[in-house]
Amino acid sequence: MWAEDFSDLAKTLKASEIRELLKVTQMEGIISFAGGLPNPKSFPVEIINEITSNLLDRYGEKMLQYGSTEGVNSFRDTLAEYFMKTHDFKNLSRDNILITSGSQQGLYLLGKVFLNPGDIVVVEAPTYVGALTAFQTFQPTYVEAELENDGMSMELLEKKLKELKKEGKKPKFIYSIPTFQNPAGVTMSLEKRKRLLELAHEYDVLVVEDSPYEELRFSGEKIPQLKALDNDGYVLYLGTLSKVLSPGMRIAFMIGDEEVIHKAALAKQGVDLCTSPFVQYIAEEYIKGGYMSSHIPRIIELYREKRNIMLDALEDYFPDGVEWTKPDGGMFLWVTLPKHLDSEKLLPKAIENKVVYVIGAAFYPHRDHKNTMRLNFTYPSNEEIEEGVKRLAKVIKEAL
């Protein structure tokens, strides 16, 4: 009835592939490798129950009131200390930190702060589909740097930055998920991280480091975050508690240059006034009380087993000519089918066989890669992983 009155922007809005697929995944008997959902077994329900009731006794009035847009000050102080101590981030104070309602909101706020229509954003290809959804309101132009097994191609990035400079253009930022990337599961090497920062300096471009998965390492050596290698505000870091505590709590944080943080807080005022103080107090106690550090190893153990089961099943059931990444952490792996197969065309067949994944094209700004798919291994049960891979292998073999 009102569709004619929708704004030009609303008329362009498209559903996120992942949000849409959540409906399919709720169908009876479906095994889902689609959404990036943590396993419910990873939620520390009892700890949260206990913390919440203690906190309500002590701080009930503050928890139930509106809070400042920047976030609860003591929580911002706790995070500053936590990231300097555990991540080696330099010179943080609460003024470098904005609490957001999920990193998804952080991405949206960055769009609001930086992007005019047509502005350039450099992304890894493939990249997180939710970032494309967040930025779409601001209608940027994308420049893609291909993702390799050790992270974004620095050669391509340099080439593109050089070309843009020749045309008198500069990207507003480079968006990267360097650790256990979504969707591909790969991790950027230390050499590439250093090179990325050199290029950021040379071409004077901000780097947005989106890092929800870094704590979930199952194998290999820890690599410093880009933000830990940054001495002068070239990296804006997005962290979240969604994958190490609960996505339902919607607690995340943007860490970076004070001026950007302040502007993002102004942008947030019009979005939700503030992130729930109730939940911020709980999150603060979860970190300060050491619960987070003691709980993460349990999540890692749960997910490492699931990753191994999926890798073994892929090896056992997938036909020759199909390749996949072998992630050291995170929640996803990335499957590449022979060139002539289109994972979007296979999806209805997969759903018929009661298994679902996210098509690779969703993770490219121009949706121009067809023969890939993303598999999540954290949500299904161990038995479902094996059975789901078997079903998917059948669909692929039939298509071959």
Look up residue 255 and give its amino acid.
I
Q: 23-42 mask for ligand PMP (x: CB under 6 A)?
A: -------------x------
Question: Of 120, 185, 122, nearest to 148 (Cα)?
Answer: 185
Is residue 16 near ligand PMP by the rule CB under 6 A? no
Which residue stretch of 46-54, 86-94, 97-105, 165-173 sits at the interface with ligand PMP (rule: CB under 6 A)? Answer: 97-105
Which residue stretch of 96-104, 164-172, 300-308, 344-352 sits at the interface with ligand PMP (rule: CB under 6 A)? Answer: 96-104
Is residue 287 near ligand G9A by the rule CB under 6 A? no
Residue with tokens 């290999």: 220
Is residue 327 near ligand G9A by the rule CB under 6 A? no
Q: Which of residues 119-158 bind ligand PMP (CB under 6 A)?
A: 128, 130
Is residue 253 near ligand PMP by the rule CB under 6 A? no
Helices 291-317, 277-288: crossing angle, 10 deg rounding: 90
Which residue stretch of 2-10, 101-109, 187-195, 355-363 sits at the interface with ligand PMP (rule: CB under 6 A)? Answer: 101-109
Question: Of 395, 286, 284, 294, nearest to 347 (Cα)?
Answer: 395
Q: Which two tokens stand for residue 57?
A: 């006794």
Binding-site member from 31, 36, 161, 282 for ligand G9A (CB under 6 A): 36
Binding-site member from 38, 247, 360, 365 for ligand PMP (CB under 6 A): 247
Is residue 252 near ligand PMP by the rule CB under 6 A? yes
163, 185 in Cβ contact below 8 A? Answer: no
Residue 130 CB-density burial (10 A; 0-12 exposed, 13-18 middle, 19+ buried): buried
Distances (CA, A) of 196 to 169, 172, 190: 18, 15, 10
Question: Of 49, 23, 45, 97, nearest to 251 (Cα)?
Answer: 97
Rg value, the chain, Cα: 21
Question: Cβ of residue 36: shortest distance to ligand G9A, in angstroms?
Answer: 3
Binding-site member from 31, 33, 35, 389 for ligand G9A (CB under 6 A): 35
| Contacts to ligand PMP by CB under 6 A | 36, 102-104, 128, 130, 177, 182, 210, 212, 240, 242, 247, 252
